[in-house]
Amino acid sequence: MSAPPSTFRKIQAVEIGNNYRKVTQVVTVPYNSLTDDLKPNQVIVKNLYLGINASDVNYTNAKYVPGIKPPFDVGFESMGQIIQAGSLVPKEAVGSHVLVSQYGAYAEYMSVPYTSVIPVPGNKIEYMALRSSGLTSSIALEEMGRMTTGETVLVTAAAGGAGQIAVQLAKLAGNHVIGTCSSDDKVVMLKSLGCDRVINYKKEDFKTVLKKEYPKGVDIVFESVGGSFFTTCLNSLAVKGRLIVIGMVSTYSGASGMQGDKVDTLKLLGKSRTVAGFFVPDYLHLYPSHMQKLVKLFQEGKLKVEIDSAGLDGIEHVVDGVEYLHSGNNKGKVVIPLLPVNHSKI
């Protein structure tokens, strides 16, 4: 490993709002700001990849930490290599690759508690998709969805970071999987991942397809879009159906920011339906077992991971990555490498 620099760059929100380009900026800070305050249980990670999330705009819009005052560091997840460790951290940790989930992850270097990182066997960019997206899909389907086998599972935004994983986990469990998307190339992608029925809602009416082809309803919905999609999904639940809300991305970029959907409890009572919210940080205790399962599936070739960098690299292009994700054009997990890579392979 090379010697650390005298300075490094990170991204901060300088005002509150969901226009990511307008409210954030890249700042340069001294490297010793990390070393001077390094606690015995902390490590310094040199980030290699930054994971882009739709909810990045909710954090800058003060939806997750009410009353937060700018400037504040932004970003949720990264992957990198431990280059320095506090006195209580095992020496062999230095040099290992880890996934990081912490506010302020959009940085070239960062300090984090060693107990909060997730070790991974190497620096493959695909591991980046297993952190927030993979854990969300795996834990939500198991805990909230109570997924078994022989069920019908609907995944909205199925070609996105979490959607692609949910589709495959549902299929691996022996279920009939429906996925929604917005383009023909995403249809091809989802079929290659095992989707039994792909609905391109730009060409087919989502509500009509479900009503006609699935008159008994669907057993599990992995829902991240919100708005009219949420309503259609709720109305399409089978008896004892479970709808898991992992987001409502259709509202994030609007003038008012993140907005929830109303649930008519009469629609739940008559068919014993369930609607459950899911926020992955509430399930920290399940991270190790589910990450171990996901890594094993990936290494065995049973889980495919689609990564989309949009041809971008460098921390200065994170804002472009956020806008790219919100354009809806991405296929798979949006990840921005911090070093130039061969984008023909991503």
pLDDT confidence of residue 247: 87
DSSP conformational letter for 244: E
State how far the Cα of 210 lies from the Cα of 329, in Å rounded to an integer: 24
State how far the Cα of 104 lies from the Cα of 13, in Å rounded to an integer: 10
Of 195, 262, 252, nearest to 230 (Cα)? 262
Q: What angle do CA 172, 177, 178 make, to 5 degrees?
A: 155
Question: 310 — alpha (psi -120 to 50), left (phi > 0) or beta?
Answer: left
In contact, 20 and 322? CB cutoff 8 Å = yes
pLDDT confidence of residue 344: 38
DSSP conformational letter for 254: S
pLDDT confidence of residue 1: 64
State how far the Cα of 49 lies from the Cα of 55, in Å rounded to an integer: 18
Same topology between domain 7-123+306-345 and domain 132-281: no
State how far the Cα of 346 lies from the Cα of 343, in Å rounded to an integer: 5
Bridge partner residues of 237 (DSSP): 218
- Give the domain ranges of the chain: 7-123+306-345, 132-281
Of 226, 245, 233, nearest to 209 (Cα)? 233
pLDDT confidence of residue 338: 96
The contacts of residue 246 (CB under 8 Å, 6+ apart) are 136, 140, 162, 222, 223, 224, 278
Residue 190 has φ and ψ, to the nearest 5°, of -70, -35
State how far the Cα of 195 lies from the Cα of 187, in Å rounded to an integer: 9
CATH number assigned to the domain covering 7-123+306-345? 3.90.180.10
Q: Would you write out the chain's pLDDT as a tens digit for each of its 346 residues?
A: 677 899 999 999 999 999 999 999 999 999 999 999 899 999 999 999 999 999 999 999 998 888 999 999 999 999 999 999 999 999 999 999 999 999 999 999 999 999 999 999 999 999 999 998 999 999 999 999 999 999 999 999 999 999 999 999 999 999 999 999 999 999 999 999 999 999 999 999 999 999 999 999 999 999 999 999 999 999 999 999 999 999 888 777 776 667 778 888 988 998 999 999 999 999 999 999 999 999 999 999 999 999 999 999 999 999 999 999 999 899 999 999 998 655 434 4
Instruction: State the fold for domain 132-281.
Output: Rossmann fold (3.40.50)
State how far the Cα of 344 lies from the Cα of 346, in Å rounded to an integer: 6
